[in-house]
Structure formats: structure tokens, C-alpha cells
Structure 1
Amino acid sequence: MSVSDQEILALACIPEEKEQAFSLLVKKHQQRLYWHLRKMLIVHEDADDVLQNTFVKAWQNLEQFRGDSSIYTWLYRIATNEALNFLNKKRAELINNPEDLEVLLSKQLDNDPLYTGDEIEKRLQKSVLSLPDKQRLVFNMKYFDNMKYEEMARILDTSVGALKASYFHAVRKIEALINQELF
């Protein structure tokens, strides 16, 4: 049985049904959010931890959800912010490490037993990892999640023009990196 976001929000307003509403919210959105986070963080355990933090934040702030956007858009924004904060924390931990975070994530991608992509997909993922966080985020949202620029603008609180420019530059960098590896 598929439950609508409106039904979940209505249940959340009833104190004795709030936990069930939250359970339905998690069940409905966890898979899509997990894969969004996994593309940003690469490591399953990190994506899982950030996903859990995302739902904890959503649970704590459910009453503040204004309904200006869909619940998924709201959750996606929370997850994105949590992922960016996580990456910044990881970078701060590596401040005295000669390897940067992207190199570390690339190595983890090579050694990940859960990674099922072929060599071409791995090359694409490594190229995407070389992008700055915001460009990587925009690229993942557009290329992998097939999001419209307008929805991305709502989630990231920025203009469509800025997103198009960011995506354009990301694609150019990825193409250059892949071409450099091929020749």
C-alpha cells in the first residue's frame, strides 16, 4: 500500500500516530535518499550514518515542515546538507594527511565489495569524485537522479542559471578527465 505525503503529514499531527508516520516516511524515502548520499560519500557505512542523521533531523523538525515543497525535496535538502557537513568534517580530519579526501574516496571505491559497476562506470565515478563538492552534487542530481533544474534550485536554494553553469563546467571537467585517461 502506497501512502501519500499528505497522509503521512496528517498522521504526524496525531500524537499517538507520530511514530507510525515517521516509520512510513522512512520506508517511503530511504532508498532514494540512500543512493543520493552514496554517490556523494561513496562509502556504504558513511551513507548509512548520514541517512540516519537525516531522518533524525527530519523527525526533530517535522513540525517545522511548511509544505512549501514536497517532503522528498525537504528530506533531500536535509540529506544534502548533512552530506556536505560530513565531507567538510572528513576534510578537517585529514588536514595533516598528505592524501586528500577525493583520493581516499577513490581508493575506497576501488576496494568496495558492494560496488557493482563495470570499469567504465568506475572511471566515471572517479572523475565525478574529482569535482568540487557543489559541482559533484549538481552533476549527481542532474545526471544520475535526472532532476529538473527548477527542483534542484528549490533544494539547493540557488538560481537555475547558476545550476546550469555548474553542470556545464562539471560535464566539461569529467569529459576532459575521461579523455585524458583514454589516451
Structure 2
Amino acid sequence: MQEEKDFIEQLLNTETQNKAFRELVRIYQKPLYNHIRNIVLNHDDTDDVLQNTFVKVFQYLKDFKGESKLFSWIYRIATNEAISFINQKAKKHQTTSEAIQSKIVENLKADVYFDGDEIQIKLQKAILLLPEKQQLVFRMKYFEELKYEEISEILGTTVGGLKASYHHAVKKIEDFMNNN
């Protein structure tokens, strides 16, 4: 895609870099915020991870080889940053990432940026019971409405594997929602 290639050249050119990066932030800030928020669940943590994501994008843009879409590459960085953030937080508190996320879900009612109801909180609890990959696939497909092909590029897995993960995730969530 020539348009994307031109945009990447602008990002790499020291004369056009600042303007192009502001444009990149304008384009990706809201969807990346939503993506990261779906993983870390907390607004303040999301802002921190989002900032780290843009720093990494800027830092490693020179290494982007164009083997995937810029969108996929940036989302992969955001996903990795979000997962790393949760794992670091767990390590700092000498607990598991699952325990950290469970505590965040319990605190969602008090989060002024969370506009969900009891069912949304129950859904978040159900999602936390899934293995990490199923959580990611479910959140990206259900909340962000990404196509399997996009998720495949972001997570580096096959479309068939993603469809199976999503199917299993939906079944487990349905069971949880019906039985709890």
C-alpha cells in the first residue's frame, strides 16, 4: 500500500517526523486506548501503557520492515506492553497477573471511567477465567470488532487457530454467565 509506505517514510524522515508522528498519534490514540483498556481494564494504567506504546513505536519505527500493516505492528506493541504491564504489576505486588486483574474487576464499580453495569462486570469476571490467548482473542473480536485476519497479524497466529480460540472462549463465557 503506497499511502502507508509514504506515511512511514514521513515518520522516518527527520524533517517530517514530528508532524507525521502527531498524525500517527491522532489516528491511533483512541483505538489503542480502547484496545489497551480492554486488557488492563483500569483508566490510569491504560494511559500509562498507551504512552509507553507510543514511545516504543517511535523508538522502533526504524526497525519496522513492512512485513505486516503498520496497524498490526502498532497493535502488537500495544498488546505486548499491556501484558507486560500486568505481569510487572503482579511481580511488584508479589502475586499473579490473574489476581491483579481480578482485583481490578472488583474495583470497576468505583472507576469513574467505567460505564458498565453488573452484567458487564460479570462478563469481565468470566473473561478473566479464560487462558490469556483466549482472553485476547475474545476481547479483540467481541469488544473491538477486529477481523480474524487483523487479529492473526497482531498476535502472529493462524486464522483457524483464532476461530477455535474464540469459539472456546464464547462457550466458556456462556457457561459462566448462565451458571453464576
Alpha-carbon separation, structure 2, partners of 1:157 and 1:7: 25
Aligned match of 2:152: 153
2:137 matched to 1:142? no
Aligned residue number for residue 20 of structure 2: 21
Q: Which residue of the partner structure matches residue 86 of structure 2?
A: 87
1:44 equivalent in structure 2: 43
Secondary structure of the 1:16 match is coil
The answer to whether the 8 A contact 1:139-1:167 is kept is yes
Aligned 8 A contact 2:36 2:49 in 1:
yes
Name the stretch that deviates more: 143-152 or 31-40.
143-152
Q: CA deviation at 1:167?
A: 1.1
Equivalences for 1:1-183 in 2 at 5 Å? Answer: 5-95=4-94, 100-181=99-180
The unaligned stretches of length 5 or more in structure 2 are none
Is the 8 Å Cα contact of residues 94 and 100 (structure 1) preserved in structure 2?
no
- Change in CA separation of 1:155 and 1:134 when aligned onto 2, cut-off 3 Å: same
Whole-Å Cα distance in 1 between the matches of residues 102 and 68 of structure 2?
36
CA distance in 2, matches of 1:48, 1:122: 21
2:114 maps to amino acid: Y
**How big is the shift at 1:24?**
0.8
- Partners in 1 of 2:24 and 2:85 — Cα distance? 23
Amino acid in the other structure paired with 1:103: S
Letter matched to residue 13 of structure 1: L
Identity over aligned residues, as a percent? 46
What is the CA–CA distance in structure 2 between the aligned matches of 1:129 and 1:109, rounded to whole Å?
Answer: 14
**8 A contact 2:40–2:46 mirrored in 1:** yes
- Contact 1:37 / 1:47 at 8 angstroms: preserved in 2? yes
Deviations 1:126-178 (A, max 9, x none): 22233232211110111112222222111111122221221122111111111
State the Cα distance separating 1:6 from its structure 2 match: 4.0
Give the distance between the partners of 1:27 and 1:5, measured in 2 at CA.
15
> Which letter does structure 1 place at the counterpart of 2:135?
R
Q: Distance between the aligned counterparts of 1:54 and 1:105, measured in 2?
A: 21
Q: How far apart in 1 are the matches of 2:6 and 2:27?
A: 12
Q: Which amino acid aligns with 1:10?
A: E
Q: TM-score, normalised by structure 1?
A: 0.88
**CA RMSD of the aligned region, Å?**
1.9
SS in structure 2 of the partner of residue 33 of structure 1: helix
Shift of 1:90: 2.0
TM-score (norm 2): 0.89
> What is the CA deviation profile of residues 17-40 of structure 1, one whole-angstrom value per residue up to 9, with x for unaligned ones?
111111111111110010000010
